[in-house]
A = this chain, B = another copy of it.
Amino acid sequence: MPGGGHPLDVATRLEPQREGLFRGETSSHYANMVGPFGGVIAAKVLNAVLLHPARLGEPVAFTVNYAGPIADGEFAVEARPARTNRSTQHWTVELRQKEAIAVTATAICAARRDTWSSLEASFPSVPAPEALPPHSVAGRPPWTRCYDMRFVKGELDFSPGAQERDSVSTLWVRDEPPRPLDFLSLVAIADVFFPRLFVRRPRWVPIGTVSFTTYFHADAAMLAAVGAAYVLATARAQQFRNGYFDQSAEIWSPAGALLASTHQLVYYKE
């Protein structure tokens, strides 16, 4: 470990120790202000389920709880199939560092069948990604260099007097360098949004996601069809209150398919 390949593949690589138990390492490419970028932590945790020999089906729901700080270096991830049904499988996962639990997670995998389907959410009206400038990474933590982000609305702006009336951010985003979309990159992109608090109130305070849930509407074939294209990501908060705010977001294919809906609760100080 870690070996070569795309930085996301290196960062999410897990070495089997015994059935369900894996060893991993943090990646300097995806470092955040403090500790690693949470989206890639989520991808590492999900990968323990994807790599487990007993896995059936593909992920449909995934919740990651960030229980404690993660230091640079080694960690262990253990995935356990809690229950296997005819078409669904429930997983519990823990990430530990020096025996302390840093992440708890649950995942549900399912074998999908073709059914009546209907999209109710609306794809936002946006310009093409090529018509938008790349976001500036100056002064931003390392993980932001692993994404090509083109903001339609709600870019982070800490300049004096900057303030948005709402916390909505809408952006085109893809891995940098480009990489074909799969469940690992999609779950990381689902956490790619800068904190909604900083959009509404542009000054830095200690902040961190405590719980992060993603519902996958796409299967592996839909993700493969997106390839390395930009996806459209849009997020908003509903309530900031006494140290916690929620965020809801959607990730869309450029053809207008809803790939995932995702939600999180975020701690903030003051």
Interface residue ranges, A against B (CB under 8 Å): 60-61, 63, 65, 67-68, 82-83, 85, 87-88, 90, 92, 94, 100-102, 104-106, 108, 110, 112-121, 166-167, 200-201, 210-211, 213, 215, 217, 219, 236-244, 246, 248, 250, 258, 261, 263, 265, 267-270
Contact = CB atoms under 8 A, between A and B. Distances in A.
A240 B118 contact: yes
Given A82-B94, A242-B219, A60 B120 contact: no
A179 to B, nearest CB: 24
B83 A242 contact: no
Contact of A65 (B90, B100, B102): B90
A112 B270 CA distance: 11
Contacts of A217: 239, 241, 244, 246
Contact of A211 (B108, B211, B267): B108
Nearest to A64: B106
A120 B167 contact: yes
B236 A108 contact: no
A264 to B, nearest CB: 9
A60 B210 contact: yes
Contacts of A68: 83, 85
A110 B243 contact: yes
B83 A90 contact: no
Contacts of A200: 118, 120
A236 to B, nearest CB: 7
Contact of A104 (B106, B120, B250): B106
A241 B82 contact: no
Contacts of A261: 238-239, 246, 248, 263
A248 B239 CA distance: 14
A94 B114 CA distance: 32
Nearest to A121: B238
A198 B172 CA distance: 34
Contacts of A263: 213, 215, 248, 261, 263
Nearest to A222: B241
15 contacts: A60-B265, A63-B63, A65-B108, A67-B88, A112-B243, A113-B242, A115-B240, A115-B241, A115-B270, A117-B239, A117-B240, A120-B239, A238-B250, A241-B258, A263-B263
